[in-house]
A and B are shown apart, each in its own frame.
Chain A
Amino acid sequence: MTVRSYGEINARIRSGEVVVMTAEEAIDLVAAKGLAKAAAEVDVVTTGTFGPMCSSGAYFNFGHSRPRIKMQKVWLNEVPAYAGLAAVDAYLGATEVPEDDPLNSNFPGQFKYGGGHVIEDLVAGRKVRLQAESYGTDCYPRREIDTWFSLDDINEAVLFNPRNAYQNYNCAVNLGDRTIYTYMGILKARLGNAHYSTSGQLSPLLKDPAFRTIGLGTRIFLGGGIGYVAWQGTQHFPAVHSGANGREFGPAGGTLAVIGDLKQMSPRWLMGSSFTGYGATLTVGLGIPIPVLDSDVLRCATATDAELFAQIVDYSDAYPDRRAENLGFVSYAELKTGRITVRDREVPTAPVSSLPRAREIAATLKEWIQKGDFTLTEPAFTLPPAGRAAAARSLEIRGRE
């Protein structure tokens, strides 16, 4: 029941006839006209998400100084980068912080500046201090360097994020009796609040839950520029959540590794971020176009907030202790009202990923496709869906034998 191919969609993009809708617009269309008519009409559905994504970073090639140095240790604005690569290559992780950061010694720590902030400074066009040390070799005699550069001054700067765009995420609460400081924000004691972190019905991997169209080489919106899916993300464990009585609560667990040229990205879509008491990170804007290959693709892409669920997890005890427990499931429609009920208590909710920015990403991607600038790529292979992906392994403490 193929409706259209990648080739046909791209031909329509080039001729200017393509029909593109954001996932929210497509939801309205399906509600008004029914799935079959909508699938005949819409070529592409766009998605978006803008949230903190810790497994992000960038690699650089700085160019060679005279005399040359084989950079063994590298700091960017005093944030250490990993230089165990060729002479002037280094990888900077979003969560790295300066060696003299007080961390959580005065709890909760502020984590004011880290790798994510360096990346934001660079895409904002600001100069960044580069310091490097080495041991000196015959071919690379220099032992230290201290200079400043901007993105225009260096050879390559590539955003390469090993795990982004989580398909779904926990709704985090705190059953304990003190405020806790987590990567899901500040969680007040005794179910004081509940935080969630997806754009729900706009979220990329919730709209192609079986990975029918997303895979290696999928062209995407990344950090305000164009990027690509490079691989499945780390901890790519797609599954379908089910409740105690066997009721299904939809997809979760898929992730993406993504890559793109940092030089064409923007500080509006890559923002250095700080989670009090937890650490520094990078907030990433990411959007994926979903080709409507058939009506089933559109059916999934138009799942609504009422049909998508988060599991409620206690971050005071169950999560840190890695116990696979939850306090039930809640739909994104309920979460977006601002109040949910947990253990018979009314709990105020708040997102930690920006829905207005997610909408802006989906709308921007739509515009790029409509203008003919952005065609769709057919993946070299699609990512493994639930049932075909590897199961999560835990890390056990054991001896060598």
Chain B
Amino acid sequence: MTSRRIVLRFNAANVDEPIIYRLAKDYDLVFNILKANVSPQLEGSLVMELKGERYQEGLAYLEARGVSVQPLSQEVVRSGERCTSCGACTAVCPTGALSLSRPAMQVEFDKDECVLCQLCVAACPVRAMEVHF
């Protein structure tokens, strides 16, 4: 049984629930949290490894609680040619992966901080942000 790398995304309604505890206690899943973040707007994201016999049941529980689950095999990529450094993605990005350097006001993208929420894809007017599988 191999563990799978997934990204969970929480919203203000479920971010304060002890969801990972339930995954371990009720579904007997083994977890290893790699990265976790809660924004001031109470949007949470969590990158983790997860495994166990009742993996699918655990996923169903997550979805029922309104937690979105994505495999970490995806990657958000910025087209350097297309990006104009307008900045429209930077306050929308929940983790600060996209930010403005000051005073140059150039958009910087730190992939290590990206949790694949894909808000930047919708926020980018010139469609410079793409999801690669």
Contacts and interface: CB of A to CB of B under 8 A. Distances in A.
Contacts of A299: none
A185 B92 CA distance: 9
Given A273-B125, A274-B125, A352 B92 contact: no
B125 A283 contact: yes
B84 A193 contact: no
Contacts of B69: none
Interface string B78-107: 000000111111111000000010111110
A283 B122 contact: no
A349 B40 CA distance: 14
Given A190-B41, A349-B91, A275 B125 contact: yes
Name the residue among B106, B119, B125 with the largest chain A CB count within 10 angstroms: B125
A103 interface: no
A338 B125 CA distance: 20
Contact of B92 (A193, A271, A346, A353): A193
B86 A354 contact: yes
Given A186-B92, A186-B122, A276-B122, A352 B87 contact: yes
B105 A350 contact: no
Given A195-B91, A350-B88, A355-B85, A108 B41 contact: no
B34 interface: no
Contact of A355 (B90, B105, B122, B123): B105
A356 interface: yes
A348 B98 CA distance: 13
A185 B120 CA distance: 11
Contact of A186 (B84, B106, B123, B126): B123
Nearest to B89: A350
B123 A276 contact: yes
A189 interface: yes
Nearest to B105: A355
Contacts of B102: 336-338
Contacts of A336: 102-103, 105
B41 A194 contact: no
Contacts of B104: 356
A351 B123 contact: no
A37 to B, nearest CB: 26
Interface residues of B, number: 23
Contacts of A50: 84, 86
Nearest to A349: B91
Contacts, number: 87
B4 interface: no
B125 A351 contact: no
Range, interface on chain A: 35 or more
Interface in A326-374: 336-338, 346, 348-357
Given A185-B92, A189-B41, A350-B100, A108 B122 contact: yes
A190 B11 CA distance: 14
B84 A350 contact: no
A225 interface: no
B31 to A, nearest CB: 29
Contacts of B127: 112, 274
B125 to A, nearest CB: 4
A52 B119 contact: no
Name the residue among B91, B100, B102 with the largest chain A CB count within 10 angstroms: B91
Given A52-B125, A186-B119, A273-B125, A354 B85 contact: yes
A224 to B, nearest CB: 13
B87 A350 contact: yes
Contacts of B87: 350-352, 354-355
Given A186-B119, A276-B123, A336-B102, A348 B86 contact: no
Nearest to B96: A348
Contacts of B100: 338, 350-351
Contacts of A346: 40
Given A186-B123, A274-B127, A355-B105, A51 B92 contact: no
Interface of B: 40-41, 84-92, 100, 102-106, 119, 122-123, 125-127
5 interchain residue pairs of minimum CB distance: A193-B91, A350-B91, A273-B125, A355-B105, A354-B86
26 contacts: A51-B86, A108-B122, A186-B88, A186-B123, A188-B41, A193-B91, A195-B91, A271-B84, A271-B126, A272-B126, A273-B125, A274-B127, A275-B125, A281-B125, A336-B105, A346-B40, A348-B90, A350-B88, A350-B90, A351-B100, A352-B88, A352-B125, A354-B85, A355-B85, A355-B105, A357-B86
Given A273-B125, A356-B85, A357-B85, 8 more contacts: A188-B91, A193-B92, A273-B126, A338-B102, A350-B88, A352-B87, A354-B86, A355-B87
